[in-house]
Amino acid sequence: MSSLPSRSWVEISRRSIAANFRAVRDLVGPRVEVMPVVKADAYRHGAVEVSRILLSQGARWLAVSSVEEAIALREAGAAARILVMAGCLPPERQALLDYDLTPVIHSLDELRVFDQLAASRSVSPACHLKIDTGLGRLGTLAGADEILAAIRSLGNVRLEGLMTHLATSADYSSGQTEAQMAAFDALCAHLRHAGFLPPLLHVAATIPVAYGRRQAWYNMVRPGHAIYGYVSPVRGPAPPRLLDVKPALSWKAAILEVKDVPEGALIGYGGMFRAPRPLRIGILAVGYADGFPHRLSNKGKVIADGRLVPILGAVSMDLATVDLTAAPSLRPGDSVTLLGAEGHASIGAQQIARAAGTISYSVLCGISPRVKRLYV
């Protein structure tokens, strides 16, 4: 089966992943640890292979969402420190110790439970504590004195890091980022004065790195989107962007059939498109089951023979139809580019996201596992 041609596939550039990591590292400098985020299967770029590339470039930390994601990396041979950011269920706590994982703890009760587990195993694992400074999701809302008392009570667990998550870092017209950082800084000052400030402090994801919000870098940053070649647009009076990265992934689909249809022909479910003139159409082997957004129906584009051509009618589960009138040389078995560059034409994840009414993260993470990954 592995020798059969692919219906839809992505090509991921090892060189681009490596270059993007180096670009972040060079920007923040040697005193700031770069912890790439490889959750959600490295934004569907393939966490195992992407992690190998990053470790070959000197990455010492990787960040994932879940224990399950971390175990997959360990079992694939990843020897780096792995931070599990989005919590763990009670049955998963033992695995944190079994696989030498570093959890982010989100409440003081959870911190005490983890300390008791460590004592029962006679080990001294590290953890990071997340502070909810205003995002309103995971993270403790406890006050500085309460947090200090909890740290002082630890018998086995080492509190290695303190972190928070910014809610509006891309909006320079909002004061929320400054308020969150002020709250984080105040807590750090309180712990520092008491002699209990953890050695690692991290707040910044891609946007604060890319736009040079240096006060948010502390001594560790957590780039995700940038590793894969994207920096989301910002709003308000933002400073110049300092980070240059390039998309690492292109997405292609095979043409299953090419045929000529007459003027007035209806195409796709619901007859969403009526041909205004005779057209040559191509039926692509890709649909929303592959992660190609249904909301691109009748308004998205693909690249065919180096030209942008429109999607006609509905994107269905397994198929999409495009206008190949301007690309008459294409035949069944040839391919079109759904995301990437071909000739002088290009389509990025952010462009697809605008057309589909979503965000570029969703476009990348939505690419289905049934789409084959090829590393080039």
Enumerate the active-site residues. Answer: 39, 269
Measure the CA–CA gap between 35 and 37, rounded to whole angstroms. 6
Query: 369: Cβ–Cβ under 8 A, 6 or more apart, which residues?
Result: 41
Q: Which residues of 212-333 form beta strands (DSSP E)? A: 220-221, 249-261, 266-267, 273-274, 279-284, 301-304, 307-310, 320-323
- Residues 4 and 361: beta-carbon distance below 8 Å: no
What does the alpha-carbon distance between residue 356 and residue 299 come to, in Å, rounded to a whole number?
8
Q: Which residues pair with 8 in a beta bridge?
A: 253
Tell me the C-alpha distance between 43 and 247, whole Å. 12
Rounded Cα distance, 262 and 275, in Å = 7
DSSP class of 371:
S
The residue type at 94:
Q
CA distance 327 to 319: 19
The H helix count followed by the E strand count for the chain is 11, 19
Query: Residue-wise over 93-124: b if at least 16 C-beta within 10 A, else e?
Result: bebbbeeebbbbbbbbebbeebbebbeeeeee
Diameter of the chain by CA atoms? 79
